[in-house]
Structure 1
Amino acid sequence: MSLREDDPRSVGGHRIEARIGTGGMGVVYLARSASGRAVAVKVVHARFADNAEFRARFRQEIAAARRVSGAFTAPVVDADPDAERPWMATAYVPGRTLAERVTESGPLDWPALHRLGTELAEALREIHRAEVVHRDLKPSNVLLLDEEGDDGAVRVIDFGISRAASSDVRTQTGMVMGSPPFMAPEQFSRPREVGPAVDVFSLGALLVYAATGRSPFEADNAYVAAYNTVHSEPELGGLPEPARRLVTACLAKDPAARPTPGEVLEALAKLPGAPARTRDSGDPGSPGAAGSRDERGNAGAPPLPPGAGATVLSESAGRRVGHRRWVAIAAALLLGAAGTTAAVLSLGPTNDAVPRTVTGSTTRTTPAGWQPWRTTLGRDDEVRAGPSLSPSCTPDALGVFCSTPEAALLRLSPTTGRVDWTRPMKDRGVLGPAVSRPVVHDGLVYVRSADAARGVDAFDGRTGKRLWHLDGPVAEFSYLSGVLVARLDEFGASKSADYAAYDPRTGEQVWRRELASASPSPFHAGAEGMLYADLRGGSGPIARIDARTGRTLGTVTAPEGDLWLATVHDGTAYYARWEDGTGVSAAFFIQDLETGRTRRIDFPWSVEPEAPPLVHGDTMYLFDYGNEALLALDLKRGKPLWTSSRELRVFGEPALHDGRLYVNMPDTSVLALDPRTGEEIGRTDPPFDTAGRSFEELSPSPVPPLPAKGVLYGVNDLGVFSVADVS
């Protein structure tokens, strides 16, 4: 990629020649040292320069890369985490990633596969000896050096989310991180407790990929890949017979049952048909060192002339749906099936479980008898122990509705925070209850049924009376355009599924039809009585569907490319374009769903739009997970209006109400911003004490604050609260 006007021309004495890649945290450049040596320089985005915690993360990445520098990893040439914009330089060597090698040349034969397994096992042995766990071993993080026209020695690169055994600093914001088709099951259930065994699991998955071109848990999106990893047996496909037993052991669900890298080496040496000689890690003939990558694991191309571009492979469609958000939701689903759930994450819909735009004027006079309140609903001990068995809640003007392992549904009083009524679980069932965030609309509450059937129950939000019941299994459900839409199958069963719409008050089925789609949540709300269905990857276009009859009214062809249909608003679709499969986006495509006319808006930097943006009038508000910032875009001019200050560190999706934007903050306070300028109007006092908790122990809230009758209701990692609205 050619340099841009604002790119540096020199970093730490290294002359910048071209861009290699970019991500949510920084940019990677091809550069030359004073002696002419090719290096890859990662430079942190300017907005993170004053963030002390981010600098600590970056120092950890540098330290991890230095600790493991060796024959099979990327040596650090130079670094300065204390520079005005922190940077790190590693040696740059031509080569292909394993992903590129398999895509361009096909699966590896047995001798090449044996060599790959041996060198990866040696690399992991050295990494683990340095007391570092990589945690994101995947095809784009394995570099195969060029050697006489063939792929040579292995280099393991990108320690951006690695963890040293002695370090408490994380590079994730309390969320599950990694690449689902190659992650170990425990990375979804116990992400803060993972050990070296996760890398061995990834090694097994890599060998299957190298031999077959597919992960053993391949799926169309990260959600299903995560489900397959935890619940399904691996698909080994055409993996050579000599390796099947070893790879199966590496892919054991129980970390304790997996071999160590040393044991993998011993087993490979004994396999029949192994090459007589594999490269020794100390072979002086090995090409000298590591390739360059951006922080997302994108591959550096062969040596680049100034201004040349690097070809980067999108490795899996799984990251097309907002990577970290989907993985977090998947974790909730997987844990819910085992009797636990991730804190405040939804098994049900994500489109409008909580309304994010509230219209009409309100007074900020608080209701009679109201006092600020907070409740943990018994989650204090659970938060200390980990994100399990936690309630999942939805605030509403009627109160806060919660689902817990003990209660199918309960309502907290909007005035006192005390439990008004509760509907207990009827039958935990063999698999245990599924805790899902309640869907609330117009006084009705929809929640996962209180039995093992995994259906849906509808309740009167005022009285708690159950109005109707839908038998399961129901993979997901949401209130959209005047009907309750449900997918009538087990989650992840197939691309093609039966969908049905129900009268929200009576439960009467109004239509049912089979649809094929690559999206696990294909429906979006239109105007009252109109649905939009994303049928790409299945039966084709974006379809306009009559919400009352299920009849297709028309279709429009979506823009081409690796696009995620993030949201639909007022008959317009908003697609995020992924950058080379990295999970970050540089642009949005905006399409009129009547005419098909499409235009593009470029972002001022690469963002992580992992939740649907909030569109109001001619403005889009986007929560950038990677940069923990709020971005406002003028949709008419296609230009940014403002971004939140780097000091604010936004911690959740926004809600727009009565001329104010409300967002959650890491200290559990709620911030009010002017939606026109991004200027701070005020903030509430934190309802919870976060003293003693590092930022990395908390998770961004997936539930925006809800203003109602002069008070704010909120849900965060620590509990549920109500505070006075910002005056």
Structure 2
Amino acid sequence: MPLREGDPESIGGYRIESRIGTGGMGVVYLGRSASGRAVAVKVVHTQYADDPEFRARFRQEVKAARRVSGAFTAPVVDADPEAVLPWMATAYVPGDTLAQRIADQGPLDWPQLKRLGGELAEALREIHRAEVVHRDLKPSNVLLLESAGGSEGADGSGDGGMTRVIDFGISRAAHSDVRTQTGLVMGSPPFMAPEQFSSPRDVGPPVDVFALGALLVYAATGRSPFEAENAYLAAYQTVHNDPELGALPEVLRPLVMSCLAKSPQERPTPVQVLDALAALPDEGPPSEPRDRTHREERDEEVVPAGDATFALSATVAATPAPRPRRGPRFKAALAGVVALVIATGVSAALIGDGDSGGAGHASASTPEGWKPWHVASEKDSAAMMPSSESCTPHAQGVFCASATTALTRLDPLTGKTSWTKPMHRPKSVSGYSITDPVVGAGTVFTYSAEGSQGVDAYDARSGKRLWRLPGPHAEFQYLSGVLVVHKGELTASRTSTYTAYDPRSGRELWHHEVTSDSAGVFYAGPDGTLFADLRLTGRKGEPGSSEIARYDARTGRKLGGTKAPKGDLWLATVHDGKGYFARWENDSGVSSRFFIQDLTSGKVRGIDFPWAVEPEAPPLVRGDAMYLFDYANETVLALDLKRGKPLWTTSRELRIFSEPSVRGDTLYATMPDSSVIAVDIRTGRESWRSAPSFVKDTDDAKGGSVDDRSPSGTAPLALGGVLYGVTDEGTFSVAAKGADEGADEGADKPADEEKG
């Protein structure tokens, strides 16, 4: 910010270069010492300089800030609380406040969120060790460095932390003589603890832990858990109401709820928060938070009997990939459930994904009460064959849709039906589209029961219908925390309308009219963004386009774009901000080369396959490897993305029969006989396989002809010590090898011996 008329040229020997910001109590300038060191100089407003109480508080701020010297606070360089205009200089931290970052870029992704929580907890640990209570921890008092993770922090300390806590303006020592004025509430609703309103003279360190919980909700959702129209309503909600956690990742909810406890004695210490966060995976949970309030969770959610274990589990990362150019859509949902109990008695569920490394099987044990199960697909009574049915395994249940049932939830522990939403298609509706149910934000989306090809949204656990979008609509996808709907029916026109909705409320967020040659336009991006494939072949009198655009998922605001690589390329998938393009050979659906493009910088590099493959669905990218299911050869091809060379391919004799999923050092795929195979991702060799879940006939049981079946577009889901699979015959669950002994015995039994 430029300097204004009347701003000082220097303060305390520091040359003033510009304004950083201004607040109710003073102005913060960017200053420079004689040696060239950058500092932030806070100068008190003139109207407060003659106020004895305010001067006393400013002295207290300087004293408190000097006592705190942690890596995640800005150290005091110099100060003069007795000057005509009191001032204090701290090390300059180049970066935005958390408030600015969220306003400009939207909610933080999981690694940033976890890191923010850990560094704030560490800062509070140091602040409290110095016997200081901050009392005003809020988004504008948290700075995020412009380049976190480097070898040197902004203060030159050599620390690479992302976060700095600033502004100790109303902080005080635990035994300070400067007391809060009677009737004066100090702090910033809605990030204040209840006791700051009810007993402001007696607040202690737990108020900062309460603010930490509120900041984590804000960083994940863009809203305080006690958001209100004004400070008075925010104060009332803080004291009397339950917090609204919105899209906070499921895995963080128990910890955040403990931080937001009404009673200060029930909140964890910063050290306990650190321990809890350290136990969470670095690369997960994937970006699929549940968008619901704590009140909805308490009043509306009905957990079916027998679901006790999974009721505590976090939502799995099930962000379906966009519709591919040919064949079934790829879905790879990976999760693991581990119980975490912190010292305050708070239980949390942890989720791992394919990038998390670790064991080669899903978990060390299976959930209590689980037994292997299989549920056959509905039968066509005339042909005695499985009817059209689509199922999506998920941590909150297995969800299936068919021509006769709008949506059914199967208990992941037992396979038994928890609830069913029947079809109400009127006779006037002659056709009905079936698609895999889409799960996101604690909600299941499917084509509507009234048969118009609209969209119905149901609560994933209770089955309560939350909202309906009348159709017809071509498709819908849960991407980056929003439901993106391709409005209207598929037509020959290259122009379509896409609308984004809040997944829980059904509120329209934005809509765009898009002209593109691509069958699938929108893709999930990092940090709450979407990528749009806007490539368009120019026709006579019309301009063409090669743009891949980037949008804010919640607002629809365009953030930038880049030119895609040239050629007849299919944007197969987007992962971690990179686009993976397959080059078609003469429009045959066969590809022998992939291009990888950084969708921010535009840089492109190519990878050649050892032979031409037929990728009917997007590849799976995990770490530095890409796994591609070749439908034509029934094999999985693994490629090293760093070196651009093939790693291995599975043998054709294995007959891989589904899209793959990867967890730790193991790749999972479903086989023609409904068994699940585990492949070592380092060698491409089979590690083990489960017994078949469906024994169709003697020939099939021996691996005979399966030509009447189709490869599955649904990858096995690794959840805890259990694997869930989908085939033409139906849906099943088996134990992963290495899970507890009893579960393994159950998994090895032939399917016709299983009971229930």
TM-score (norm 1): 0.50
- 1:676 Cα offset (Å): 2.0
In the other structure, the counterpart of 2:275 is none
Q: What do residues 522-576 of structure 1 show as CA deviations (whole Å, max 9, x unaligned)?
A: 1111113110111112662111111111122112111111111101111111110
1:703 aligns with 2:701: no
Change (3 A) 1:452 1:434: same
1:466 aligns with 2:477: no
Contact kept? 1:379, 1:718, Cα under 8 Å: no
Change (3 A) 1:612 1:642: same
1:596 aligns with 2:595: no
In the other structure, the counterpart of 2:54 is none
Q: Which has the larger radius of gyration?
A: 2
1:435 aligns with 2:446: no
In the other structure, the counterpart of 2:736 is 725
Contact kept? 1:353, 1:394, Cα under 8 Å: no
Corresponding letter in the other structure for 1:559: P
In the other structure, the counterpart of 1:371 is 371
Q: What do residues 458-506 of structure 1 show as CA deviations (whole Å, max 9, x unaligned)?
A: 1111100111111212111000011110111112252101111111111
In the other structure, the counterpart of 1:396 is 394
Corresponding letter in the other structure for 1:695: V
- 1:679 Cα offset (Å): 2.1
Corresponding letter in the other structure for 2:695: D
1:411 aligns with 2:409: yes
Corresponding letter in the other structure for 1:413: D
In the other structure, the counterpart of 1:654 is 660
Structure 1 residue ranges, 4+ long, deviating more than 6 angstroms after superposition? none
Identity %: 54
State the alpha-carbon separation in 1 of the partners of residues 614 and 526 from structure 2.
28
State the alpha-carbon separation in 2 of the partners of residues 477 and 637 from structure 1.
36
Contact kept? 1:353, 1:440, Cα under 8 Å: no
In the other structure, the counterpart of 2:637 is 631
1:382-531 equivalences in 2 (<5 Å): 385=384, 389-428=387-426, 429-492=428-491, 494-531=493-530
State the alpha-carbon separation in 1 of the partners of residues 642 and 651 from structure 2.
24
- 1:714 Cα offset (Å): 0.9
- 3-state DSSP of counterpart to 1:647: helix
Corresponding letter in the other structure for 2:633: N
State the alpha-carbon separation in 1 of the partners of residues 627 and 454 from structure 2.
34
- 3-state DSSP of counterpart to 2:419: strand
1:643 aligns with 2:643: no
**Larger relative contact order (C-alpha < 8 A, sep ≥ 6)?**
1
- 3-state DSSP of counterpart to 1:611: coil
State the alpha-carbon separation in 2 of the partners of residues 623 and 520 from structure 1.
20
- 3-state DSSP of counterpart to 1:475: strand
Corresponding letter in the other structure for 1:571: G
In the other structure, the counterpart of 2:562 is 556
Contact kept? 2:332, 2:715, Cα under 8 Å: no
State the alpha-carbon separation in 2 of the partners of residues 446 and 515 from structure 1.
23
1:686 aligns with 2:692: yes
Corresponding letter in the other structure for 1:504: P
Q: What do residues 136-177 of structure 1 show as CA deviations (whole Å, max 9, x unaligned)?
A: xxxxxxxxxxxxxxxxxxxxxxxxxxxxxxxxxxxxxxxxxx
Contact kept? 2:330, 2:617, Cα under 8 Å: no
- 1:587 Cα offset (Å): 0.4
Corresponding letter in the other structure for 1:420: S
1:150-229 equivalences in 2 (<5 Å): none
Gaps of 5+ in 2: 1-322, 336-352, 538-543, 739-756
State the alpha-carbon separation in 1 of the partners of residues 330 and 577 from structure 2.
15
- 3-state DSSP of counterpart to 1:451: coil
Contact kept? 2:455, 2:469, Cα under 8 Å: yes
Change (3 A) 1:667 1:423: same
Contact kept? 1:379, 1:391, Cα under 8 Å: no
Corresponding letter in the other structure for 1:510: L
- 3-state DSSP of counterpart to 2:654: coil
In the other structure, the counterpart of 1:669 is 675
Change (3 A) 1:485 1:474: same
Q: What do residues 374-420 of structure 1 show as CA deviations (whole Å, max 9, x unaligned)?
A: 111433757x6556x32211011222101122221111111221111
Change (3 A) 1:442 1:660: farther
- 3-state DSSP of counterpart to 1:695: coil
Contact kept? 2:521, 2:533, Cα under 8 Å: yes
Contact kept? 1:352, 1:479, Cα under 8 Å: no
Change (3 A) 1:352 1:696: closer
- 1:616 Cα offset (Å): 0.9
Contact kept? 1:433, 1:451, Cα under 8 Å: no
Contact kept? 2:423, 2:451, Cα under 8 Å: no
TM-score (norm 2): 0.49
State the alpha-carbon separation in 2 of the partners of residues 497 and 473 from structure 1.
13
Change (3 A) 1:612 1:627: same
State the alpha-carbon separation in 1 of the partners of residues 456 and 501 from structure 2.
12
RMSD, matched Cα: 2.1
Selected match of 2:619 from 602, 606, 613: 613
In the other structure, the counterpart of 1:183 is none
Contact kept? 1:380, 1:718, Cα under 8 Å: no
- 1:597 Cα offset (Å): 1.0
State the alpha-carbon separation in 2 of the partners of residues 369 and 670 from structure 1.
22
1:559-598 equivalences in 2 (<5 Å): 559-598=565-604
State the alpha-carbon separation in 2 of the partners of residues 607 and 680 from structure 1.
21
Change (3 A) 1:322 1:500: closer
Contact kept? 2:725, 2:731, Cα under 8 Å: yes
State the alpha-carbon separation in 2 of the partners of residues 322 and 609 from structure 1.
9
Q: What do residues 291-333 of structure 1 show as CA deviations (whole Å, max 9, x unaligned)?
A: xxxxxxxxxxxxxxxxxxxxxxxxxxxxxx97751xxx5xxxx
1:25-40 equivalences in 2 (<5 Å): none
- 3-state DSSP of counterpart to 1:661: strand
User: Matched residue pairs, number?
Assistant: 382
Gaps of 5+ in 1: 1-320, 330-349
- 3-state DSSP of counterpart to 2:493: coil
State the alpha-carbon separation in 2 of the partners of residues 323 and 626 from structure 1.
16
Contact kept? 1:435, 1:448, Cα under 8 Å: yes
- 3-state DSSP of counterpart to 2:707: helix
Deviates more, 1:428-437 or 1:617-626: 428-437
In the other structure, the counterpart of 1:166 is none
Contact kept? 2:324, 2:519, Cα under 8 Å: no
- 3-state DSSP of counterpart to 1:594: coil
- 3-state DSSP of counterpart to 1:696: coil
State the alpha-carbon separation in 2 of the partners of residues 532 and 513 from structure 1.
13
